[in-house]
Amino acid sequence: MNFENSLSFAKTLDEQDPLKSCRDLFHIPKVNGKEAFYFTGNSLGLQPKTARSFVEQEMKDWEMYGVEGHFKDSKRPWMHYHKFLKDSLAKIVGAKPIEVVSMNQLTVNLHLLMVSFYRPSKDRFKVIAEAGAFPSDQYMFETQIKHHGLNPDETLVELKPRSGEHNLRTEDILSAIDDAGDELALVLLSGVQYYTGQLFDIEKITKKGQEAGAKVGWDLAHAMGNVPLSLHEWGVDFATWCSYKYLNSGPGNVSGIFVHERYANDATLPRFAGWWGQEESTRFEMTKGFIPMSGADGWQLSNVNVLSSAAHLAALEIFDKVGIKALREKSLMLTGYMEFLVNELSGNDNIFEVITPKDPASRGCQLSIFCHKNGKMLFDALSAEGVISDWREPNVIRVAPVPLYNSFEDVYHFARILRQHIEKI
């Protein structure tokens, strides 16, 4: 499509958008009494209007039934609450319900999965990750490696883009796997890199890592609900994500994990255990001897946080109705339109550049704008005008046009406000 930099063009795209009504399903924050231009769904998604009623239902059941709400009297018995989320999560990540479960927070899940899938030996111990991964991942790698008595400087292979480039080339990742050879124990990358917005080739990297004899896992914090995934088909060993970004389930809300079906009944796989992962039929016998539930459920530790999971369920209901395929189709168009407008603004002045991959297949709904000068000044000016975006040191403004609730008109006004303030500096 040939994009145009005009309000009328943006409005025409909105009129033609089959998902335009989805915006009305969310509360849009206000700045100075007007709806904000909200582009931080990559940090915290907006609140579904149904979330309050879902949480209130559990509050009412707690009020009326007390502990009996765990069983038959409540609308959604708490004893089985994690099961109500499975089908939706499985569809989003391209998995079987047995392979997914909602639990804990992302960093906790990373540590738990490392217990099972990072089993270093004298000869096979190295870990491949991207340099500049999200801090939780960096700290997790450091402490897990030290836990095994190893030196992170000798164990962790951190991949950096080539000189003068901002993104990792797939060929360089595959080459690093070859270079690590028989010493490679684990490949663990972000599905979408939080700083640049790069979407990695999960299928190809997984295949290569496993051919080298390593386990391959993925941190999907910025990929979940953002891009189509086929974790089962791609043979991914394990993955985890958070639900408060593109899944719109509430601040700090529950994470989830994927463990491939081939491990579903492998009770010999090391893991840290808790009573909610114990075989359900014998859980309340309270006996010694851990027997894990089949599938991802066997990695659970504690019983479900029902109130937060209720908000999660409300958000997932929207994904069930819309579908990740339709979201991706709009996302490509919406992000493409933003890229067109931003590139037009930058022109030959080199004030900033988009460091997110130009290939739409290699990114989700995020653009990272690298500011060569006055970046924080521009960010503060945008904020004052009601644009909610994200500043990342030392010089990047991250903007995420989310297809569920952002409009083409939002994108147009973002560029309009940005242009006004570029002209002032």
* 73 in any annotated domain: no
Helical packing angle, 408-422 and 324-346, nearest 10°: 20
Spell out the residues 6+ positions from residue 33 whose beta carbon is closer than 8 angstroms to its own.
none
126-130 and 215-219 beta bridge pairing: unpaired
Instruction: Answer yes or no: do 18 and 91 share one domain.
Output: no
How many angstroms separate the CA atoms of 20 and 23, rounded? Answer: 6
CATH number at residue 196: 3.40.640.10
Please provide the size of the chain in residues. Answer: 425
* 77 in any annotated domain: no
Q: Tell me which amino acid residue 261 is.
A: E
Instruction: Answer yes or no: do 265 and 170 share one domain.
Output: yes
How many angstroms separate the CA atoms of 151 and 154, rounded? Answer: 5
* 60 in any annotated domain: no
- Residue 348, pLDDT score: 63
The answer to whether 149 touches 122, Cβ cutoff 8 Å, is: no
Which phi and psi (to 5°) does residue 270 adopt? -60, 145
Which phi and psi (to 5°) does residue 32 adopt? 55, 40
Q: Flag whether the pTM goes above 0.75.
A: yes
Task: Give SS3 for 151.
Answer: coil
Q: Please name the residue ranges forming H helices in 323-403.
A: 324-346, 375-384
Residue numbers of the domain that contains 111: 82-303
Instruction: Answer yes or no: do 287 and 341 share one domain.
Output: no
Q: Which residue has the tokens 């851990």?
A: 290
Instruction: Answer yes or no: do 123 and 90 share one domain.
Output: yes
Instruction: Answer yes or no: do 297 and 217 share one domain.
Output: yes
Which phi and psi (to 5°) does residue 180 adopt? -70, -30
Instruction: Answer yes or no: do 297 and 391 share one domain.
Output: no
* 126 in any annotated domain: yes
How many angstroms separate the CA atoms of 84 and 77, rounded? Answer: 10
Domain boundary among 303, 332, 356: 303
* 56 in any annotated domain: no
Of 233, 227, 311, 39, the closest CA to residue 241 belongs to 227
Instruction: Answer yes or no: do 192 and 280 share one domain.
Output: yes
Cis before 403? omega within 30: no
Q: Please name the residue ranges forming H helices in 156-297.
A: 170-180, 202-211, 231-234
Domain boundary among 268, 303, 338: 303
Per-residue pLDDT tens listing for the chain (425 residues): 899 999 999 999 999 999 999 999 999 999 999 999 999 999 999 999 999 999 999 999 999 999 999 987 788 999 999 999 999 999 999 999 999 999 999 999 999 999 999 999 999 999 999 999 999 999 999 999 999 999 999 999 999 999 999 999 999 999 999 999 999 999 999 999 999 999 999 999 999 999 999 999 999 999 999 999 999 999 999 999 999 999 999 999 999 999 999 999 998 899 999 999 999 999 999 999 999 999 999 999 999 999 999 999 999 999 999 999 999 999 999 999 999 999 998 876 678 899 999 999 999 999 999 998 889 999 999 999 999 999 999 999 999 999 999 999 999 999 999 999 887 76
- Residue 305, pLDDT score: 95
Instruction: Answer yes or no: do 232 and 298 share one domain.
Output: yes
The answer to whether 189 touches 199, Cβ cutoff 8 Å, is: no
Q: For 5, what's the count of Cα atoms within 13 Å in the CB-facing half-sphere?
A: 13
Instruction: Answer yes or no: do 28 and 129 share one domain.
Output: no
- Residue 334, pLDDT score: 98
* 57 in any annotated domain: no
Using CA atoms, how far residue 371 sits from 144, 195, 346, 374, in Å, is 35, 13, 10, 7
Domain boundary among 272, 303, 334: 303
- Per the structure, the count of domains in the chain is 2
* 197 in any annotated domain: yes
Using CA atoms, how far residue 285 sits from 277, 280, 289, 333, 340, in Å, is 14, 10, 11, 55, 62
CATH number at residue 385: 3.90.1150.10
Q: Which helix (H) or strand (E) holds 217?
A: strand 215-219
Instruction: Answer yes or no: do 280 and 370 share one domain.
Output: no
- Residue 127, pLDDT score: 98
Using CA atoms, how far residue 141 sits from 223, 234, 333, in Å, is 20, 24, 36
Instruction: Answer yes or no: do 89 and 140 share one domain.
Output: yes
How many angstroms separate the CA atoms of 367 and 114, rounded? Answer: 31
The answer to whether 94 touches 229, Cβ cutoff 8 Å, is: yes
* 396 in any annotated domain: yes
Using CA atoms, how far residue 55 sits from 22, 25, 40, 64, 166, in Å, is 21, 16, 24, 14, 42
Instruction: Answer yes or no: do 183 and 284 share one domain.
Output: yes
